[in-house]
Amino acid sequence: MDIRIDYSGNNLGKYYLIQKLGNGGFGAVYRVHDRILGVEKAIKILEASNPKEAYKLFNEAAIPYKCQHNHIIKINGGEIISFNGELVFVVDMELANGMSIENILKQKYISVNESLNIVRQILFAVEYSHLQGIIHRDIKPANILMDNGLPKLADFGLSTALGNVIKPWKWYVTHAAPETFVNNSIATVETDIFALGMTLYRMVNGIADWQLFLQGVPNVDKLIVAGKLINKLPVSPIVPEKVHRIIKRACNALPENRYHNATEMRNAIEKLCPFYTWERLEENYWRGNTFSGPRKEIYIETKKQSIKVIVTNNGRRSSIDSESFMDLLKAREYMFNYIKQTTIK
């Protein structure tokens, strides 16, 4: 079975393949109909051409099965099935009804506070898997799926036991901590923390196409290996310093300077007091909602003589917060700074 081919419309054992969702690390993921239970699920199909080696694939199901958590995609089981005379290993999984964070980022802006909330919940999952002795090794926006509004960590295909020796470059390279680029690198909690920091960076800065974005960074490969990439990446003007400090600590080149566990990083996020969740309606038009305050809107009004940044509270113009400027750059700077200052208390 060639996993690169789309087999939608075929039957695979009890599964009817409805739609190919994508290619995972070493297999293809499909939305399927389980004809016995009469429900939709997701399955991951892995080639098992050598039956004697097939047992090596069992960890694809066994490892995440050990990590049953509210924020981890549930594994129902794994089995070897014959498909067109060839053997494949099938991991039977819960089907998330939402998109991955990577796909959401391609479509829309995720606010800083929403991003923090998603990563905060994923940190529960990461801490739980670490307590089970499992290092995920592949934490990235593509592996965070939304299910009924809840983020869930998926794809434990690269996961390994805490303390295992890993071959260099066998990581998701752009999220790999610098200590993983040497021979006999070890899977540690801090390597997952590093990947979480990179994930949070991409989310709060609203980076829609990560690979394209990195093409604009000079010497990116050297920076990744040295663990200095995060210091060279631009920061969106709406990201509060406290949030960027959390990212920089998680992505510190030295593992001992990072958060020592996921709980420590989550506690740092919990201590931030989220204030306004800003939604980008247009490039120069934002709306902010909060638990304890008026709904705000901020936008730039351009007229012949002047450029104004207008701030409204529940639709009423705030003369204290609204400002006039001579040029658009200054106006945008003020608007972004206002958003940044009101994102967290």
Partner 1 sequence: MRSLGIAIKKNEIWYSVVEGTQKETAIIIETGKQNYRTESDTLMLDFNNIFVELITKYKPQIVSYKLSLDIKMQQISYMHYSLGILNLVCMQHGIKIIEHSSRWITANKRAKITQFENYFASDKYKNEGLAATLLAWFALEE
Altogether, the residues listed in the chain come to a count of 345
Cα–Cα dist 335/342, whole Å: 11
- Closer to partner 1 at the Cβ: 20 or 242? 242
Cα–Cα dist 245/251, whole Å: 10
Q: Which of 124, 156, 259, 276 binds partner 1 (CB under 8 A)?
A: 124
Q: Two tokens at 291? A: 């638990």
- Candidate ranges 230-238, 240-248, 262-270, 325-333; the one touching partner 1 (CB under 8 A): 262-270
Catalytic status, residue 209: no
- Annotated catalytic residue within 138, 221, 321, 327: 138
Q: How far is CA 180 from each of CA 17, 24, 232, 253, rounded to the nearest angstrom?
A: 37, 21, 20, 11
* Angular region, 84: left φ>0, alpha ψ -120 to 50, beta rest: left
- Site residues for partner 1, 126-145, by CB under 8 A, read 127-128, 131-132
- Closer to partner 1 at the Cβ: 121 or 188? 121
Burial (CB count within 10 angstroms: exposed 0-12, middle 13-18, buried 19+), residue 248: middle
- Closer to partner 1 at the Cβ: 137 or 266? 266
Binding of residue 117 to partner 1 (CB under 8 A) = yes
Binding of residue 291 to partner 1 (CB under 8 A) = yes
**Site string (185-224) toward partner 1, x via CB under 8 A:** ----------------------------------------
Alpha helices (runs of H) in the chain, residue ranges in sequence order: 59-66, 101-107, 112-131, 189-204, 210-215, 220-226, 229-232, 241-250, 262-271, 328-343
Please give the size of the binding site for partner 1, defined by CB under 8 A: 18
Binding site for partner 1 (CB under 8 A): 69-71, 117, 121, 124, 127-128, 131-132, 150, 263, 266-267, 270-271, 274, 291
Q: Catalytic site residues?
A: 138
